[in-house]
Structure 1
Amino acid sequence: MSLARNTLVQASLTLGSRILGFARDMALAARFGQGPMMDAFTTALMLPNMFRRLFAEGAFAQAFVPVYGGVRAREGDEAAAVTASEAMSFMLAVVAAFCILLQVLMPWIMPWLLSAYRDQPAVMQTAVTATQLAMPYLACMTVASLLSGVLNTGGRFALSAGVPVFLNLCTLAPLLAAYVVPASQPQVLLWVTAAVTLSGVIQAGLLWWGVQRLGITIRLSWPRLTPNVKRALALAVPGAMAGGAMQVNSVVSQMLAGSDEGARSVLYNADRLYQLPLGLIGVAIGLALVPRLTRAFVTDDHEGGRKTLDDGITLAMAFTLPAAVALFVIPYFVIDATVTRGAFTSEDAARTADVLRQFAWGVPAFVLAKVLTPPFFAREDTRRPMFYAIAAVIFTIVVGAGLFFGLSRLGVDGVLGLAVATSLSAWINVGLLGGTLMRENVWRPSPVFLSRLLRVLAASAMMAGLLALAGIGYETLSRVLLAKEIAVLVVCGAGALVYGACIVLFRAVSVAELKATLKREPGAVAPTGLD
């Protein structure tokens, strides 16, 4: 399949999952607001969410695909299946042991993770139990990540992109049930976190079925550190760290915010919105790029690799920049219109909007990092991206902590400092990745690419003007259109129309070029009923 078709499959299915996820988050906000139970929920999901994004949403899969694909090309399907089986058995054993250890130690770890509630034993106990219930999801994601890599190498993207919907379905169900079956907030929280683990079992089971349908047999065995496992881990573990720098930064920010009541909830709500373009575009393009770049580098088609990267970055920015502009220009409009209800107040929306604006200007960098790491992974170079990611994380820790505590002492919301540090570190990571690729002549921006990027920026600026006017007239629009929910849909739809018209008018992307990119590549494997 072409890059655009692969990306479309990934993004379309991910969009369905994200819509359900947004509905889940609206239900959570209405139930818990930004109070103790919401802070406990975000703490319980902090590690599972990080592993889900590292594994299920592409970073680990991007690193594992070249390893698995290389063995498959050199030694055949059977040897590749053995490699995948050995890697899964070893990693599952390690992660399962890690999960059990964390569950046992959680009563002593939680006071450090959620220090704002150390003097509230009921909140601490609920947070501990909720985290213990959600922790097995990590083991499920280990299985899911490897199976997704196998499917993606075989040209099957739909199932791996579609199964995350079960996380949102499973966690939304108890929130809706609480409106029928009377339950306290702590009880609802425990139901939701137990559903997280249930969703992980379902996801892993469906991916296992998908791999079997592909004719590949993956078997669990006694974990052994074989040469194939050592080679896979040597690339995949640094690759997961490299591709997941933003996720690690998110966890770092949440840990720093643990001393401020409500701060973790603010980060969670802002995170869910600015992660949307990353999940829809960055991850989708990243996963679609790896197989194509791997083929280009194996066949010494360097020009093809450069063009693939040009196309990937252009496509990523064409979809990402308008989303980033909307989150920067009208964050309060978006949050207040969609989330404010029940226990979540307009004051909560205002605080979250201020933080979201500081994340918004980092969104293009978050997505670019997902596009610029595959060229390293395709050449089985995961160490340098890992070092760049570590540098970005250290920057977030040092600068984020300084801004968080410094702004708090000045009476300013310290969470703003965490958002600023996270966005800055993302751009530093992109600078290191892009600079290395250009220095080694793996990629150099072509004049055509630069011209198209400028046209995308111009179209985004036109849309920003419209959104700014709508933001000024937010209350008036809400009254005229009878509801703020309708107002935000109309404004976002109008912004999309203006942006789309400008893209065509400025010739950033022509209709003929769009049709060409959506055509199936010669010799591509036809999708089966699975996709």
Structure 2
Amino acid sequence: MSLVKKFATVASGTLMSRALGFGREMLMAAALGTGPIADAFNAAFQFPNTFRRLFAEGAFNAAFVPLFAKEIETHGTDGAKRFSEEVFGVLFTALLALTIAMELAMPLIVRYLVAPGFADTPGKFETTVRLATIMFPYLICMSLGAMMAGMLNSLRRYFAAAVAPVFLNIILIGVLAYAWYKGSDARTVGFGLAWGVLAAGLVQLAIVWVAVRHAGISIGFRRPRMTPSVKRLLILALPAAITGGITQINQLIGTAIASAQDSAVSSLAYADRIYQLPLGVVGVAVAIVLLPELSRALKSGNLIEAANLQNRSVEFTLFMTLPAAAALLVMSEPIVRLVYERGAFAANNSTPTVAAILAIFGLGLPAFVLIKAFTPGYFAREDTRTPMIFAAISVAVNVTTALTLFPSMGAPGIAVASAVAGWVNALMLLAVLIRRGHWGRDVPLLKRIPRLVLSAAVMAAALYFAEHWFAARLGPGSPLLIKATTLLALVAGGALLYFVTAFASGGADFGMIRRNIKRGRTPNATPVAKADLDE
């Protein structure tokens, strides 16, 4: 299967999840708006979600996948199974102890870490604590599920792991639909969503567990022991967890700062949901597919193929995310108005704030995606320390910028801080890869990047004038159907203009796309020719 087809396999599952996520957020915005229950739920959910990225997806996609791939290469399926069982025993025991400790300390955690600004609002504070207590065991399910997803990705079985998150949105949409049918108040809706998150974790874990068994590996429980393989995993996983979850760390910091202002937490969450669509579909797909592929190429000594994988991945991410970033920048208000402006959200007049946040997130989108394309270049070489250092620097930049801008700008200031930190992180990752000789000079890529940027700028300018031309059809008084059809027509027209400009200017070419789609790989594939790097 070619690299592009693998990206498409993962992206299709992620696209289903993100599309349903839109539906979930639309229903949540109508039911809760940006009121106190919405703030409480989003702050409470941010906490286990951050831990999930830190100790599950980040750590195991960065540290577990290369080690699991090495076990398959050197000891076959039996060795990989033994390694998985050793890790499972240690991971499950550690997660259980962590969850018990966090549940007992939840009031202190919410007061001093998650949402310190809620402490002065008693009802809001207690609600956040209870919601976080219900949802935190979700971490166990998702961490074990992330380990099994890493196994599936190493075995080149991408779809089950990509489609499992869909069920979080399916269950939460079901909760919201039932609450609407019953006419439930906001508090009941909030607690229903919290229990739905926990149920979704169990369902997602069951899906990947069944998929792993179908892949031929049955995991049994072993007494926790610090074997050499487990020690190596932990050495790699700690910095990888921080690096892989850097976006979530910055979001958690942003949530803590935003809790000092009413509606700021939920405004950030609603904008985040929209920009997560291109980030998830492109960035997550590239990160999931690139790491095991790059690990295999490096383990077999195929440096030319490794360089080609990295360059083509960056080319693909920029080709797809630059137009998305441009559209979010200039079309944020009509997008927010179409997706969210109804019910409690409209009553709170939240559109201008959420639209401003979304536009700023758009400026940071290419950086967030490039981080996911650059970090596998370190992780595949079992270097998780360097990205961790860069992640720490970006966190410092984020905190400093957010604290500086929040008093004057409010929630949009936190979005600016996140975007700046993202670009700082991406540029540091690229610079060190180049300095170490791990990023080969690719002439076609260097020629295409400025042409892709120009194509996105042309599209942005056209959308800006078109939005003003159709302002009456996109405004708050326009019927929903007219707003939707107008916005979709503008987005489709903008996309067409971008692709025509990109191909006409040489930012993309059909030969490059055709070669990537046709290029299949087998375990004994021949090295990629040098000509492929210069075409």
Fold conserved between structures, TM > 0.5: yes
1:498 aligns with 2:494: no
**Matches for 1:64-213 after TM superposition, within 5 Å:** 64-112=64-112, 113-213=114-214
Q: Which residue of 1 aligns with 2:532?
A: none
Q: Distance in 1 between matches of 2:304 and 2:183?
A: 63
Q: Rate the CA distance shift 1:67–1:186 in 2: closer, same or farther, 3 A.
A: same
Q: Distance in 1 between matches of 2:151 and 2:480?
A: 49
Q: What is the Cα deviation at residue 505 of structure 1? A: 2.2
Q: What is the Cα deviation at residue 119 of structure 1? A: 4.3
Bigger CA drift: 176-185 or 378-387? 176-185
The question of whether the paired residues in 2 share the 8 Å contact of 1:58 and 1:283 is answered with: no
Q: Rate the CA distance shift 1:51–1:481 in 2: closer, same or farther, 3 A.
A: closer
Q: Percent identity?
A: 35
Q: Kindly provide the CA deviation profile for residues 437-462 of structure 1, in whole angstroms up to 9, marking residues without a partner as x.
A: 10011113422111111221122122
Q: Rate the CA distance shift 1:445–1:468 in 2: closer, same or farther, 3 A.
A: farther
User: Which of 450, 453, 458 is the matching residue for 1:457?
Assistant: 453
Q: Which residue of 1 aligns with 2:444?
A: 448
The question of whether the paired residues in 2 share the 8 Å contact of 1:337 and 1:484 is answered with: yes
Gap regions ≥5 residues in structure 1? 408-412, 526-531
Q: Which residue of 2 aligns with 1:317?
A: 318
The question of whether the paired residues in 1 share the 8 Å contact of 2:294 and 2:377 is answered with: yes
**Matches for 1:107-506 after TM superposition, within 5 Å:** 107-112=107-112, 113-345=114-346, 347-405=349-407, 407=408, 413-478=409-474, 483-506=482-505
The question of whether the paired residues in 2 share the 8 Å contact of 1:62 and 1:287 is answered with: no
Q: Rate the CA distance shift 1:365–1:81 in 2: closer, same or farther, 3 A.
A: same
Q: Kindly provide the CA deviation profile for residues 35-56 of structure 1, in whole angstroms up to 9, marking residues without a partner as x.
A: 1000011011112222444567
**2:412 alignment partner AA:** L
Q: Rate the CA distance shift 1:265–1:186 in 2: closer, same or farther, 3 A.
A: same
Q: Distance in 1 between matches of 2:119 and 2:155?
A: 50
**2:40 alignment partner AA:** A
Q: Distance in 2 between matches of 1:399 and 1:481?
A: 38
Runs of 4+ in structure 1 off by over 6 angstroms are none
Q: Kindly provide the CA deviation profile for residues 117-156 of structure 1, in whole angstroms up to 9, marking residues without a partner as x.
A: 4344333222221111111111111111110111011110
Q: Kindly provide the CA deviation profile for residues 352-388 of structure 1, in whole angstroms up to 9, marking residues without a partner as x.
A: 1112222221111100000000011111111111111
Q: What is the Cα deviation at residue 513 of structure 1? A: 2.7
Secondary structure, counterpart of 1:180 in structure 2: helix
Q: Rate the CA distance shift 1:522–1:229 in 2: closer, same or farther, 3 A.
A: closer
Secondary structure, counterpart of 1:221 in structure 2: coil
Q: Rate the CA distance shift 1:22–1:51 in 2: closer, same or farther, 3 A.
A: farther
**1:296 alignment partner AA:** A
Secondary structure, counterpart of 1:10 in structure 2: helix
Q: What is the Cα deviation at residue 219 of structure 1? A: 1.5
**2:65 alignment partner AA:** V
Q: Distance in 1 between matches of 2:97 and 2:111?
A: 22
Secondary structure, counterpart of 2:38 in structure 1: helix
Q: What is the Cα deviation at residue 488 of structure 1? A: 1.6
Secondary structure, counterpart of 1:508 in structure 2: coil
Q: Rate the CA distance shift 1:376–1:292 in 2: closer, same or farther, 3 A.
A: same
**2:473 alignment partner AA:** L
Q: Which residue of 1 aligns with 2:5?
A: 5
Q: Distance in 2 between matches of 1:124 and 1:522?
A: 54
Q: Kindly provide the CA deviation profile for residues 69-104 of structure 1, in whole angstroms up to 9, marking residues without a partner as x.
A: 112211221111111111122122212221222222
Q: Which residue of 1 aligns with 2:533?
A: none
Q: What is the Cα deviation at residue 340 of structure 1? A: 0.5
The question of whether the paired residues in 2 share the 8 Å contact of 1:65 and 1:149 is answered with: yes
Q: Distance in 2 between matches of 1:337 and 1:474?
A: 14
Gap regions ≥5 residues in structure 2? 525-535
Q: What is the Cα deviation at residue 482 of structure 1? A: 5.5
Q: Rate the CA distance shift 1:219–1:482 in 2: closer, same or farther, 3 A.
A: closer
The question of whether the paired residues in 2 share the 8 Å contact of 1:90 and 1:223 is answered with: yes
The question of whether the paired residues in 1 share the 8 Å contact of 2:58 and 2:242 is answered with: no
Q: What is the Cα deviation at residue 210 of structure 1? A: 0.5
Bigger CA drift: 217-226 or 358-367? 217-226
The question of whether the paired residues in 1 share the 8 Å contact of 2:53 and 2:241 is answered with: no
**1:91 alignment partner AA:** L
Q: Rate the CA distance shift 1:357–1:424 in 2: closer, same or farther, 3 A.
A: same
Secondary structure, counterpart of 2:225 in structure 1: coil
Bigger CA drift: 37-46 or 72-81? 72-81
Q: Rate the CA distance shift 1:512–1:221 in 2: closer, same or farther, 3 A.
A: same
**2:448 alignment partner AA:** R
Secondary structure, counterpart of 1:45 in structure 2: helix
Q: What is the Cα deviation at residue 289 of structure 1? A: 1.0
The question of whether the paired residues in 2 share the 8 Å contact of 1:57 and 1:283 is answered with: no
Q: Rate the CA distance shift 1:226–1:329 in 2: closer, same or farther, 3 A.
A: same
Bigger CA drift: 247-256 or 120-129? 120-129
Q: Kindly provide the CA deviation profile for residues 105-125 of structure 1, in whole angstroms up to 9, marking residues without a partner as x.
A: 222333333344434433322
